[in-house]
């Protein structure tokens, strides 16, 4: 029988959270994908942009913790033209395969629908198949892919959109 992994999800930001999101991305993407520190810097800069426009009515965060440590994160940020962007979806390895990603994606979609957005989008990279599976099950469709060296390694960035009909 698999050991039950305890975690909690909260939807409020607390001091220290944004730094932990950047650190979590830096650690995971370095060890699993070979990304350099440039990726962590990119995440830090974009988290500042998020915070500067954070609107409790339009945006939502999902902070996943276990024993007081952040082990996952996801957010919905409002964008122009009544669109939403899915960002910073990350889960530590030990918390994958237990249904947590599916739960977070379902909660993201429920919030998205409740706010009446006219569509959504996200950027990811080739090779993150489990995450892409969740996005596709939720209705996101691949629009384009482009080769990039933005994060210090050669990779393919992929752009997905969610139509407003969902």
Residue 39 placed within a domain: yes
What count of Cα atoms within 13 Å lies in the side-chain half-sphere of residue 54?
15
Report how many domains make up the chain. Answer: 1
Residue 165 placed within a domain: no
Residue 113 placed within a domain: yes
Across residues 8-36, what is the average pLDDT? Answer: 94
- The mean pLDDT value of the chain amounts to 90
**Tens digits of residue pLDDT in 91-113:** 999 999 999 999 999 999 999 99
Across residues 139-165, what is the average pLDDT? Answer: 83
* Distance (Å, whole) CA 7 – CA 23: 19
pLDDT surpassing 60 at residue 1: no
Q: Which domain holds residue 47?
A: 8-118
* Distance (Å, whole) CA 17 – CA 90: 13
Q: CATH number, domain at 44? A: 3.40.630.30
- The predicted pLDDT at position 164 comes to 61
Percent share of the chain, pLDDT over 70: 94
Range list of H helices, 54-153: 100-114, 129-137
The pLDDT-based confidence of 19 (bands split at 50, 70, 90) is: very high
Contact yes or no for 101/133 (Cβ under 8 A): no
Residues linked to residue 70 through DSSP beta bridges, in sequence order: 65
pTM of this prediction?
0.91
Give the DSSP H or E segment for 132: helix 129-137
Q: What are phi and psi of 64, to 5 degrees?
A: -100, 125
**Tens digits of residue pLDDT in 23-76:** 999 999 899 888 888 889 989 999 999 999 999 999 999 999 999 999 999 999
């Amino acid at each position: 029988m698999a050991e039950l992994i305890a975690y909690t999800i909260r939807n409020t930001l607390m001091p220290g959270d944004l730094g932990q999101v950047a650190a979590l991305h830096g650690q995971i993407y370095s060890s699993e994908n070979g990304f350099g520190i440039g990726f962590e810097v990119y995440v830090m800069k974009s988290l500042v942009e998020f915070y500067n426009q954070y609107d409790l009515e339009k945006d939502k965060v999902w902070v996943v913790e276990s024993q007081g440590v952040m082990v996952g994160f996801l957010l919905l940020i409002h964008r122009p033209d009544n669109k939403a962007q899915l960002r910073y979806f990350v889960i530590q390895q030990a918390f994958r395969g237990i249904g947590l990603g599916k739960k977070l994606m379902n909660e993201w979609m429920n919030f998205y629908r409740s706010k009446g957005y006219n569509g959504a989008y996200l950027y990811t990279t080739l090779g993150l198949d489990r995450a892409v599976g969740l996005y596709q099950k939720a209705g996101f469709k691949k629009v384009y892919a482009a080769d990039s060296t933005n994060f210090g390694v050669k990779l393919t960035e992929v752009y997905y959109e969610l139509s407003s009909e969902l």
